Amino acid sequence: MSKKPVQSNTLFNYFTSPKTPTSLRKKESSVEIQSRDKTPSRKINTSSSVSQDESDDEVPLPTKRRCTALIDSDSEPENKSPNKRTSKSNSPPSKRQKLNYSDEESSNNESSPEKQTTDSSSKAEMSRKLLAEYSFSKTDETVKINFNKPIKMEKSTNSNDNLDTSWTHEKLDFLKPENIRDAQKRKLSDPEYDPTTLYVPKDYLDSLTPAMRQWWILKSQNMDSVLFFKVGKFYELYNMDAVVGVQQLGFSYMKGEFAHSGFPESAYGKMATMLIDKGFKVARVEQTETPEMMSERCKGLRKVTKYDKVVAREICQVTTKASCVYGAQMPEARSEVGTYLYAFAARVNPDNTSRMGVCFIETSIGKFHLSEFDDDKHCSKVMGLFVEYPPGLILIERGANYGPLKYLLNTQLKDVMQETLASKTQFYNAADLLEKLFSECYFKDKNGEFQWPKMFTEVADDCNPKPEYELCLKSLGAIHSFLKRSYLDIQLFSMGLFEKYEPPNLKSKFDISHVERDYMILDYTAIQNLSLLGGKGTLQNTLDFCKTRFGKRLLPQIICKPLCQLDKIRLRQDAVQELFDDPKKLDACQQVLKKLPDLERQVAKIHTYGNKFCVTNHPDGRAILYEAKAYSKRKIIDLLKTLKGFEVSQEIADIFHNCESRLLRKLTQFAPNGMNINLTETLNFFKQAFNHDEAEKEGTIIPKRGVDEDYDEADNKIKEINTQLQTYLNEQSKFFGCQVTYFGTDKKRFQLEVPDHKAHKADGEYQMEGQRKGAKPAKRFSTSTTKELLQKMLKAEAERDKLILDLNRRIFEKFSQRYNEWQQVIHCLALLDVLCSLAEYACKFSGDICKPDIHAFSIKPFISIENGKHPCVANIENFVPNDTDVGVKDKAPLLLLTGPNMGGKSTLMRQVSIIAIMAQIGCFVPANRCSLSLIDRVFTRLGAFDDIVRGQSTFFVELNEASMILKHASMQSLLIIDELGRGTATHDGNAIATAYVEKLIQMKCRTLFSTHYHSLVDHFIDNSEVQLGHMACMVENEDVESEEVVTLLYKLSEGRCPKSFGFNAAKLAGLSEKIVARARELSKAVETEDKYRFVFRKVFATDTNIKELIDLINVLEF
């Protein structure tokens, strides 16, 4: 059974060629059609006189019910738009569906959309990189685009999708896996294949309507993006993009031959954010011409084709999770902590170490970080960088050798999105980058002259890169190329924020006599093993009471860089102490901080609003936006909110006007007593510049006099013309002998309205324009003077209106010119917020807490903690505190720790490390008392895991980490080593652990070393350089093994533990009594055999005396 073609919406009619009749679609059954047809549909008057000319891009057609999502919006009513359309959704968002292309699908099997493709493995491999073929795999937070499976369209479950889903794009030959080419006609199997482009045959493009041809051209250049294609007041999604809209955003398909869905312009921020959060790349395509502008353009062409008769459209922004620039259309970031866009350039050495160049940026803030360094074969510095600045997208050079970094990207970072760029053309070398930056003119001083940002003077000589910075400049070249293709380069590079990142020197050993270190080194392994950063259960989460978003972003950087300079630590401690001692002051400060918006991102956002280079050179400056007034209001609201935030922040100075802490004074008081800046004069300027309430209401800034010289001049011209008009009107009143008034509006203004009984005085100079009848009849005249004054007025008003259009930008520009002031205030507020957070942690901690007593680096390093607790434990009230003394007086610097399984050994070691880190960031610690000498680095060797991909066993990984510790640890380091040697045979593991401890004794560094090797403990039992400790437990019914009950006390006690009580752990794990009993028998046999061997060796030793022999015989218990 067939169904007649249905007239679709405006855009579909526009895209459907009148030469090609709509094909008839088959239905599954007549019963199904009848049930669907019960829903009444709006009839369309087919006799409408509206033109169907496909060349007219903005012709309004009769309104058709549109099936798409309704979005709440603050936009203008849609009936003010030339394209009046209704948005409606009849169903909830559809569940995620797998998509699959299949060249086996045809009109013969359209009724079976679930049928799987039987393509050969070679075809499947060829189709991996086609971005149009989406299938999704869920990670923790990201839906990754997966190229391993070809796509098959599935039927939407939405109630209004009563058409079969064999869409036009499924049948195109050039989209079949075996035919796919990139723009350079390279096949999928070509190593140089570019998955971001697609070859679309010219004959196919020429068969399309102008707008659909436009869409395919843009899509062929951005195959890795979902196009939000602007048509009138709506963003439309077509073909494979429409599928994404239906499946990921809950849209419904429009009726027609090709897949089509969409949403109103006002919903862009919401819809784009939803897709971006799922791992998609979104390209926003705007109309950059009106129909009138298009007509004017066509008049200037020698030959006009039908493809010229379509309004111009341009991509204005391409956004990913790692490249979000927030503005009027995407007003707010969902998370206070952003993800970073990275680019790497590498030079791999024969020993698998690397020279690494890196550039990374958080685009919502706009600061570029550059670094070049030597890294080991484990990429330790890179991993530490990733922990502190989490990556959202990593750019790498196609075909380049990245050595160990490539392995890292394919394993531990496999869930992070990666993009390969072509060498030289996309991944610029250092010299090409500098030339491009110079030619683009991003960097201009106040006089409009080119000026390199300060950092470039360190890494280059004008346009010549310094050799030691070539790789980091090359990585910046990749970032520049990516941002330029995303249309974000102007916004970000013009800010001129470049900063060198200095990674910790992981190889240098600290020398107390020669080196003054700024920060404690925490490598990736330590940060991960100690759970310093992240969500629940981490130190960051425990200490985070920050009230501002920029404070929350600073906190992890503070945690990852504990101080090693005693005076700076004490400054922080004093600040936290004062806030802790004065809860009212702390609360007053936090109440102010709580009111502040994300000033750091707001300042970056307003810079974009005010950048003239951006407005004049960026496609967004040409975009025709139907919600322009709403966006203008949002920009003004952003400015006012930011100004209000800085105004509120000035209250901080009064709160701390009499504080004692030097650091608090420095952060809160104005010069010369502090670093904070008095913004009163600056804020008053913006207060007096324009009427804030009126600007927010109208979406336009009208400056007050004295604020803008150009506007004042234009306004003066208008006032002068008004004066001339009034003078001329007075003259005419005298001439006619009665009151004469002006009549008319716009271009018909300034007609002289003269009462009828006096009109006879008008001579040939007066031209009749009209008359008024009724009780007070009058005639209306124009003269050469009124016409001249009208032309002057129209010109003056046009000049003023043109200035008003640019005036918002100029006000934003004035704000941005004070960028350094705003940034300094933000820096002070962020650090103050972190200090308040540390103080609030101390106030809210339910147990004992103290200010650590920290000493300088010492030749006898020590750490002493009394009743210390792990700060990140949830149930802290029931946590058993412990005393830990390492290197104190008669206590050796190495603690050899034993105890039962699950007795708390690992927890104790982590607890000591975290307390030491907290102490050196200036925080109070959970203990009755804590004192320590400074620590230069914390090493951790915890847990057991293998590395299958590299072919490394658990034991090899263990020894690798242990080897790194011996190479890089100094006397001032703190070492946490858990059960070294457990990954191999007992004797080998015991021997290696013993030799390792002997080496640690020589190094004299503070060490907590846990083990279950009792022979290892016996070996050092009489060594004064080693102290023995164990986690205590209480054993009941020890004589009856089957009824033995072990109670873990979690208390550190002196001396060795008699055994590890492994059978208790086995019983708790659920092993049967039979297995446990048999294990006990075997254990006794092994213990007896070891005892005999020990006695045998002693008996035959040449230096054994008679007394020792008697003792040994008693040991055997004959």
Write the DSSP assignment of 531-586 as a string of letters: T-SSSTTSHHHHH----SHHHHHHHHHHHHS-B--HHHHHHHHHHHHHHHH-HHHH
The helix (run of H) or strand (run of E) holding residue 941 is strand 938-941
Question: Tokens at residue 1102, please?
Answer: 């040449």
Q: Which amino acid is at 833?
A: D
CA separation, residue 246 to residues 14, 110, 112, 600 (Å):
22, 19, 19, 36
**Residue partners of 627: CB distance under 8 A and separation at least 6:** 75, 76, 233, 265, 266
Is the same domain home to 937 and 1002? yes
- Parallel/antiparallel/unpaired status of strands 367-375 and 498-500: parallel
Rounded CA-CA distance 98/432 in Å is: 43
Q: Mark whether 896 and 857 lie in a shared domain.
A: yes
Tokens of 336: 């206070």
User: What is the four-CA torsion angle of 538, 542, 546, 549, rounded to 10 degrees?
Assistant: 20
Amino acid, res. 504:
P
CB 655 within 8 A of CB 585: yes
The separation between CA 283 and the C-alpha centre of its own chain, rounded to angstroms, equals 17
Contact 190, 202 (CB under 8 A): no
Distance, CA of 125 to CA of 129 (rounded, Å): 9
Residue 509 resides in a domain:
no
Q: In the β-sheet with 974-978, what is the strand arrangement from edge to edge?
A: 938-941, 974-978, 1006-1010, 894-898, 1026-1036, 1045-1054
281: closest CA among 124, 410, 132, 129? 132
Residues 166 and 151 in one domain: yes
Reduced to 3 states (helix: H, G, I; strand: E, B; else coil), residue 989 is helix
Residue 1095: the pLDDT is 64
706 burial (CB, 10 Å; 0-12 / 13-18 / 19+) is exposed
Q: Are residues 973 and 950 in the same domain?
A: yes
Backbone dihedral region for residue 252 (phi beyond 0: left; psi -120 to 50: alpha; all else: beta): beta
Instruction: Tell me which residue has tokens 């009489």.
Output: 1022
Token output for 279? 């791992």
Co-location of 423 and 413 in the same domain: yes
Place of tokens 């330029």: 484
Sheet holding 260-264, edge to edge: 260-264, 234-238, 226-231, 282-287, 313-319
Q: Does some domain include residue 15?
A: yes
Residue located via tokens 């858990």: 978
Could you tell me the pTM of the whole model?
A: 0.78
Alpha-helical (H) ranges within 448-544 are: 456-459, 470-485, 489-493, 524-529, 539-543
Number of folded domains that form the chain:
6
8 A C-beta contact, residue 1093 and residue 1015: no
Question: Measured between alpha carbons, how far is 129 from 839 in angstroms, rounded to an integer?
Answer: 52
Amino acid at site 960: N
Beta bridge partners of 1026: 894
Q: Which of 285, 319, 353 is the last residue of a domain?
A: 319
- 730 and 839 fall within a common domain: no
Q: Is 213 within a domain?
A: yes
1040: which residues sit within 8 A by CB, 6+ positions away? none
Specify whether 669 is located in the same domain as 634: yes
Judge whether 1079 and 1063 are in contact, CB under 8 Å. yes
Shared-domain flag, residues 954 and 964: yes
* Distance from C-alpha of 546 to C-alpha of 566, rounded to nearest angstrom: 25
Helix (H, G, I), strand (E, B) or coil at 136: strand
Query: Distance between CA atoms of 729 and 36, rounded to whole angstroms?
Result: 72
Residues with Cβ within 8 Å of 445's Cβ and at least 6 positions away in sequence, in order, are 451
Strand residues in 2-42 grouped as ranges (E): none
d(CA 383, CA 409): 11
- Give domain status of residue 1077, yes or no: yes
Residues 349 and 288 reside in one and the same domain: no
Report how far apart, in Å, the C-alpha atoms of 72 and of each of 265, 269, 275 are: 12, 12, 18
Question: Which DSSP category does 832 fall into?
Answer: H
Whole-angstrom distance, CA of residue 391 vs CA of residue 394: 7
Give the pLDDT of residue 983.
Answer: 62
Contact 269, 172 (CB under 8 A): no
Q: What is the pLDDT of residues 18-64, one digit of tens each?
A: 343 333 333 333 333 333 333 333 333 333 333 333 333 433 334 34
How far, in Å, CA of 255 to CA of 12, rounded? 8
Instruction: Quick: pLDDT tens for 124-155.
Output: 333 333 333 333 333 333 333 333 333 333 33
Same domain as 348, residue 263: no
Mark which of 290, 319, 348 sits at the end of a domain. Answer: 319
Taking the C-alpha atoms of residue 990 and residue 1013, their distance in angstroms, rounded to an integer, is 6
Residue type, 869: K
Q: What H or E segment, with its residue span, contains residue 102?
A: none
- The enclosing domain of 571 has a CATH number of 1.10.1420.10
- The one-letter code for the residue type at 733 is S
Determine, yes or no, domain membership for 510: no
CATH number of the domain within which 491 lies = 3.30.420.110
Q: In this structure, is residue 328 part of a structural domain?
A: no
In a domain, 79, yes or no: yes
Whether residue 933 is found in the same domain as residue 801: no
The answer to whether residues 759 and 790 belong to one domain is yes
pLDDT digit string, tens, across residues 87-136? 333 333 333 333 333 333 333 333 333 333 334 333 333 333 333 333 33
Query: Looking at residue 1092, what is its pLDDT?
Result: 67
Parent domain of 785: 709-814
In the numeric block, which tokens belong to residue 42? 């709006």
Q: Strand, coil or helix: what is 259? A: coil
CB 825 within 8 A of CB 679: yes
**Beta strand 391-397 with 340-348: parallel, antiparallel or unpaired?**
parallel
**CA–CA dist 1015, 1069 (Å, integer):** 26
Low-confidence ranges of the chain (pLDDT < 50): 1-164, 513-514, 946-949, 951, 1118
Confirm if 97 and 116 have CB atoms less than 8 A apart. no
* Residue 47's CATH number: 3.40.1170.10
Question: DSSP label at 1103?
Answer: T
For 26, 33, 107, 109, the CA distances from 30, given in Å and listed in that order, are 10, 5, 18, 18
Q: Name the domain boundary from 319, 350, 385.
A: 319
Is residue 455 a part of any domain in this protein? yes
> Could you give the count of Cα atoms lying within 13 Å of 784 in the half-sphere of its Cβ?
3
